[in-house]
Amino acid sequence: MTGESDKVKQPDRPDSLKYQVGRPTAFTEERKQAIIDNILDGAYRTPAAVATGISETTWFRWNQIARKQELAFWAEFDERHGEDADIFSVPEDELPETHPYLEFLWQVEEAEAESEQQLVKIVKTAAPDDWKAALEMLSRKQSTRWAREAQKHQLSLGGGDGDTPGKGFSLSINYVSTSNPEEKPETAG
């Protein structure tokens, strides 16, 4: 006969973990910060995530969850404030704490913008001493006037951020410009 003392005691666990099944989540604060740090160092989203030890599949699933949470967040926002509300002045207390994947997506987007800005500053700082840095910046910002004649152009259409496969479509067209767009074409006479 088994007595009370023969039972294995379970460690006390917070209520949020008492009923958790399956393996632990990879969506941890440490991993999220590592991905943000990789992006700030200049990595693209997917390699930044994979470098932290998660699979591309996991990364894409996080993005899908974030997009669903984004739709829910803005629907809730519209419900509270009306469809004509200023979306650029979301009050601090309405940021998506209840949508952790969306919050992380916004952190990723912010990190990408910050990384780009740091690189722009480097090129702009180099431009006075290196005419190639200035020309490169002009050719990218004002390509119709400053790009080389045979510069490759790309047009992309599709759903999503270009980094998330799945639903939707994507069409990419590459072509090579062979003439200066400001010159009139010669006509046979």
For 70-120, what is each residue's pLDDT tens digit?
888 888 878 887 777 776 666 666 666 678 999 999 999 999 999 999 988
CB atoms closer than 10 angstroms to residue 99: 19
Per the structure, the complete domain to which residue 34 belongs is given by: 26-114
Taking 50 as the threshold, does the pLDDT of residue 187 lie above it? no
| pTM as predicted | 0.62
Query: Could you give the number of structural domains in the chain?
Result: 1
Strand partners, 156: 172
CA-to-CA dists, residue 22 to 59, 96, 131, angstroms: 18, 26, 57
Is residue 35 in a domain?
A: yes
Is residue 150 in a domain?
A: no
The DSSP code for 42 is T
Is residue 63 in a domain?
A: yes
Average of per-residue pLDDT values in the chain: 76
Taking 80 as the threshold, does the pLDDT of residue 152 lie above it? no
Q: What angle do CA 108, 111, 116 make, to 5 degrees?
A: 130
What pLDDT is recorded for position 139? Answer: 85
Taking 50 as the threshold, does the pLDDT of residue 189 lie above it? no
In the chain, which ranges are continuous DSSP H helix? 15-18, 29-40, 45-50, 56-81, 100-126, 131-141, 143-146
What pLDDT is recorded for position 143? Answer: 79
